[in-house]
Amino acid sequence: MISSRISLPELPITSVLSEIGQSLAAGNRLVLSAPPGAGKTTTVPLHLLDQEWCTGRIILLEPRRLAARAAASRMATILNEQAGQTVGYRMRLDNRISKATRIEVVTEGVFTRMILEDPKLTGVSAVLFDEFHERSLDADFGLALALDSQGALREDLRLIVMSATLDVDRVCALLDSPPWVKSEGRTFPIEIRHVDRDASERIEDSVTRAILSAHDRENGSILAFLPGQAEIKRVQERLIGKLPEATVLAPLYGAMSQRDQDLAIKPSPVGQRKVVLSTSIAETSITIDGVRIVIDSGLQRLPVYEPSTGITRLETVRVSRASADQRAGRAGRTEPGIAIRLWHAGQTAALPAFTPPQILASDLAALALDLAHWGVKDPATLSFLDQPPLAALTEARNLLRMMEALDNNDALTVRGKLMRELSLPPRLAAMVIAGAERGAARKAARLAILLTEQGLGGQDVDLDSRLRQFGSERGERAEAARGLADKLAKSLPKATGQAEDLSAGQLLLHAFPDRVAIQRGARGRFVMANGRGAELPETERLSGCKYLVIADLTGRAAQVRILAATEVRRSDIEDELQHSIISGEEAFFDTVSKQVRARRVVRLGALVLEESPLPRPVGETAARGLADGVRQVGLQCLPFSKEAEQMRDRIGFLHRTIGSPWPDMAEERLLERLDEWFVPFQSGRTRLDAVDAGSLMEGLRSLVPFELRQDLARLAPTHFEAPTGQRHPIRYDGEEPVLAIRVQELFGLKAHPAVAGGKLPLLLELTSPAHRPIQTTRDLPGFWSGSWKDVRADMRGRYPKHPWPEDPAHAQATHRAKHKGT
């Protein structure tokens, strides 16, 4: 029992420890809210070891490796031990666990693998999900699995969800209303200051100025939060030579070695101050001794996954209010502090309450693989706080079937089981297995580890260069990474044939077949097999290559930048991806000549590897080629007549007001249905300028079910016939039908004009004899008996030659001026 050997430090969390113990003695779930500095991360696990029900290990989940190591070290210090004894930690490249270990601090991904391999969590008494507000995919999935295991296998397993800034209502609902324990506030007060920054100023300049000002006016060390590594380095460059020698400048981000990270968070020597430049890595669960000033840029970098391209890009966004509170809390951990926020105070309310859950914007291939291992086809059967999006999950399963990891019933194949065991993203797992089958397991494993551990092998775009550097790189982190790669390689089945000396490009083709790229146009401009463009600076060596395979990209749409790639040969593409290369004849739309051409092609996805011209296509093939052209250019390239445009508006109006089966006439829907209304009416045409308005009119009309076509004129007539006998067009291009008409032509009309079988009144735009607007109305009788008097008085003076009767509802309609003498 811990309490018999050492007393726990007095912290704000201490006052609720007995309540936590009582709640977990009576039940198996708990939600704990405790502000930064309360001591929940280190004190609660140690306190639980003294509970009667706690006969096994306690697992504490942390969102980051740095936080896991720091939490384990702090608890070990409290016990006057080293990490690896009573308290240890376990993560991908580092493991300090022994037979004596009772508290294991693990990263969230490690826990997910633990429970997937042992659903009973044998020998575990409690699992604590720390900093759950960060909502990582692994944390969400780990909690869903733990709840499933607890409900079916381990009723005695205690689950505790903890955070300083938790969406308590939703979490409590997910956990079926368990006890909610709330700790008191911070140990020390924090003064929040706001410095409104110019939006046009670079964030590095704003942060630099704030650091220098705070350093000059305040005492204590400074922790500045920046969105990413690049901004940290730029601020570091700006501060060199501007701080006193007694101030240590320390960066802190995920790609650093453990030693450098530890240097950033350890106490400064006596008489020195520290300025730490950090990403969100320092937001939770660690204490940087001596910090009493926090400078918050208000920005963070989050990964956003696009299922349609398989690309995850990093996006710089505003922090959430929860993250801002966490960051400010770093200033009050050891003494009263100051949090300087680089935004206007009023903008805080506009920040999102919480950081978006990772599960809603992530590549779900690994999740889909793990769900199959767990035996779950429908994720709704698990208790996710947010269900994985169907589109992303479907795309992930399609990818896994293509990799032969799932069968047609989404069950794990033998290959899929082997991929899971590698603890790698599925794409890289497939690459390593393919490499092992050819006797290149070690090289493939090193390449996979290089791509999953930021900073290894340097920052060169060329992965061949980085792989060579990684092979000889010194340092504890590089050695651990190579050791992990060697361990992966040894776990794979041996090659049956002679070992091959595969290049990095040949290996990467098995991970990223959709990102094979061919140079198009200017140097450094590439098109990938998924149809997207990507760029390299012209100064990069790879920018002159004919073919690349790309492993990492960033940016949006037309500005996708290549971060990691390697050269590949055409022969390599044909050898490694022969099952994906298609040869055949096809019609295509030439955007320059605006006509359909034909060619014989050899292609990989959207990439044309080889082509030769064929005679111009005819019939339906040509029409389908024209349809592809319309999809590329848009409907504006088609010569719709005024009559056709009005019919499209009329049908669209009936769709908006009545609904199905009247078809949607919006551009995106018409582009989706070109094969239905465009292709059948363009047989034989091969040029856009050969399309005529009549065929477009027929095509649009064909979308209306035959039995409804007669109703079109009745429900949405093209014209309104005025009492004068004149016909006036009705506009249907807005939210409601509109009739513009001179007011005199409606004299004698006692009912308001309407369409849709008399159910929908027209919006009347009443005009003067000169066609200038007078008034709009949806109630003509009301207008006659109401504001007509004022209109009449004004119009009589302006247009004395035209009739302006006192009682227009009983007057004769006209479109002419008064006869002379009347």
Residue pair 255/455 in contact by the 8 Å Cβ criterion: yes
CA distance 506 to 77: 49
| Domain 190-359, CATH homologous superfamily name and number | P-loop containing nucleotide triphosphate hydrolases (3.40.50.300)
- Maximum pairwise Cα distance, the chain: 118
The string of pLDDT tens digits covering residues 535-592 is 999 999 999 999 999 999 887 656 788 999 999 999 999 999 998 899 988 888 888 8
pLDDT at 1 over 60: no
CA distance 22 to 196: 47
The string of pLDDT tens digits covering residues 163-218 is 877 789 999 999 999 999 999 766 688 999 999 888 889 999 999 999 999 999 99
pLDDT at 424 over 50: yes
Beta bridge partner(s), residue 318: 299
What is the percentage of the chain residues whose pLDDT exceeds 70? 97
Cα 349 to the center of its chain, rounded Å: 23
How many degrees, rounded to 5, is the angle at CA 73 between CA 72 and CA 76? 85
Calculate mean pLDDT across residues 798-822: 83
Burial class (CB in 10 A: 0-12, 13-18, 19+), 24: buried
Would you say the CATH fold of 190-359 matches that of 2-182? yes
CA distance 812 to 749: 9
What pLDDT is attached to residue 12? 84
The string of pLDDT tens digits covering residues 385-398 is 999 999 889 989 98
Question: Could you check whether the bond before residue 352 is cis, i.e. omega within 30 degrees of 0?
Answer: no
Q: Which is it for strands 103-107 and 57-62: parallel, antiparallel or unpaired?
A: parallel
Cα 621 to the center of its chain, rounded Å: 38
CA distance 206 to 197: 7
Q: Where are the domains positioned within the chain? A: 2-182, 190-359, 422-576, 578-716, 719-810
Residue pair 127/61 in contact by the 8 Å Cβ criterion: yes
Q: Where are the beta strands (DSSP E) in 255-405?
A: 273-278, 291-296, 299-306, 311-318, 337-341
Beta bridge partner(s), residue 598: 587, 614
The string of pLDDT tens digits covering residues 660-689 is 889 999 998 999 999 999 999 998 788 888
Tokens of 684: 């034989």
Which secondary structure element, helix H or strand E, spans residue 398, and what is its range? helix 390-402
How many degrees, rounded to 5, is the angle at CA 629 between CA 624 and CA 632? 130
Query: Hey, what CATH topology would domain 2-182 get?
Result: Rossmann fold (3.40.50)
